[in-house]
C-alpha cells in the first residue's frame, strides 16, 4: 500500500472531486478512484467525502493506494500462446478449456496463474494485468496489460467501446441475413450461473453477419459493441440461433433431418461452445498506434465446419 498526498489546485474549483483526482493522478482510472473514495481510503482533513462533492481548491487529499495482492494466485508453469508482446502489453491466443483467472471451483490452472509464472512483475497489478476475460470454453485473442499506465488506458478503451472484438461462432439454424441485437443482459434470477435478457439489465449490443450458410447451421461473425458476461451466447440464443456445443443457452443437441452418422457424432462430441475470438483491434496505450491481431480458427471448429460442408450443404 502506498499513501499519496495530493493538493488540488484552485483552477479545478467547482469540478467533481473524483474527476479532479483522476486528472491529478492519471495512472489510475476514475472507477478505481471512486472505489477508494467510497471505501474511506481517501480523506480530506481526516474526513471522508463523496465522489460528487465539489472542489474548493487547495484541498489536501490523503489517498491510500491499494493494489490487488495476488499472493493467493500462485505462479504455475502453463504454456502460453503469445501473439504479440512489448514493454506495455501482451496479446494471447487463449485455448478453450483454460479459465481466465482463479475463482469458485477453479483456484489454480488458470491464465492468471500462467501469467504470474511468465512475468512475476504482473503480481503488482489487479488480476495479473488481465483487463477482460473470455469464458473457459471460448478460445481466441485477449490483451493483458504489463503496467499501471497500460492497464488504465486499456480499461478506458473497453469502457468507451473503442476496442474492437470480432468473434467466429457456429450456430444452429439457417440464418438468412445479419443484424444487430440490442437487449439488456443481467444475472438470471432463476439460475445465478446464467445470464439472461432482463429489462433492468445492463445495456448490451451485438452485431452479427453471415460468413457461410448450411442447410441447418450457420457460420457467423459477431462483433461486440459492449462486453457483458456470455453476451454473444445469450444474444444469439435469444434470436433463435444458439451456439453449437452450448448446453447452457442452446439446450439439447439438434440433428438435421436425414443427418449422417458422422455429422451426428460431431455434434454430440463437440464439447464446448463453438465460439472463437478471432480479431482484436485497439490503440496501443503508449504509442497510440492502432494495432490489429488475428487468430485462425482452432482445429476443432475448423473440423466442425468441414463436416457441415460435407453433410449439411
212 is catalytic: no
Task: Give Cα 75 distance to the centre of its chain.
Answer: 22
For 100, counting Cβ atoms within 10 Å of its Cβ (0-12 exposed, 13-18 middle, 19+ buried), the class is buried
Catalytic-role residue among 27, 88, 119, 135: 135
Active site residues: 135
Amino acid at each position: 500500500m502506498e499513501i499519496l498526498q495530493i493538493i488540488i489546485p484552485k483552477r479545478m474549483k467547482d469540478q467533481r472531486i473524483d474527476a479532479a483526482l483522476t486528472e491529478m493522478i492519471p495512472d489510475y482510472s476514475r472507477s478505481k478512484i471512486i472505489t477508494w473514495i467510497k471505501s474511506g481510503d481517501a480523506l480530506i482533513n481526516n474526513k471522508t467525502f463523496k465522489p460528487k462533492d465539489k472542489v474548493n481548491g487547495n484541498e489536501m487529499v490523503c489517498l491510500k493506494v491499494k493494489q490487488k495482492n495476488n499472493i493467493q494466485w500462485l505462479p504455475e508453469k502453463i504454456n502460453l500462446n503469445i501473439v504479440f508482446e512489448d514493454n506495455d502489453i501482451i496479446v494471447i491466443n487463449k485455448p478453450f478449456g483454460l479459465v481466465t483467472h482463479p475463482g469458485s471451483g477453479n483456484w489454480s490452472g488458470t491464465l492468471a496463474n500462467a501469467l504470474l509464472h511468465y512475468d512475476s512483475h504482473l503480481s503488482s497489478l489487479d488480476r495479473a494485468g488481465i483487463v477482460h476475460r473470455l469464458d473457459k470454453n471460448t478460445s481466441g485473442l485477449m490483451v493483458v496489460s504489463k503496467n499501471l499506465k497500460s492497464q488504465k488506458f486499456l480499461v478506458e478503451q473497453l469502457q468507451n467501446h473503442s476496442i474492437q472484438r470480432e468473434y467466429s461462432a457456429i450456430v444452429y439454424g439457417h440464418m438468412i441475413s445479419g443484424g444487430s441485437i440490442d437487449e439488456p443482459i443481467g444475472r438470471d434470477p432463476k439460475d445465478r450461473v446464467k445470464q439472461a435478457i432482463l429489462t433492468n439489465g445492463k445495456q448490451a449490443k451485438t452485431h452479427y453477419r453471415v460468413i457461410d450458410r448450411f442447410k441447418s447451421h450457420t457460420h457467423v461473425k459477431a462483433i461486440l459493441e459492449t462486453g457483458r458476461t456470455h453476451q454473444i451466447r445469450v444474444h444469439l440464443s435469444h434470436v433463435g440461433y444458439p451456439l453449437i456445443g452450448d448446453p447452457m443457452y442452446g439446450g439439447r443437441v439438434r440433428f438435421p433431418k436425414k443427418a449422417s452418422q458422422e455429422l451426428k457424432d460431431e455434434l454430440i462430441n463437440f464439447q464446448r461452445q463453438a465460439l472463437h475470438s478471432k480479431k482484436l483491434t485497439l490503440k496501443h496505450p503508449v504509442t497510440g498506434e492502432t494495432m490489429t491481431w488475428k487468430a485462425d480458427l482452432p482445429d476443432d471448429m475448423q473440423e466442425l465446419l468441414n463436416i457441415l460442408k460435407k453433410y449439411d450443404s
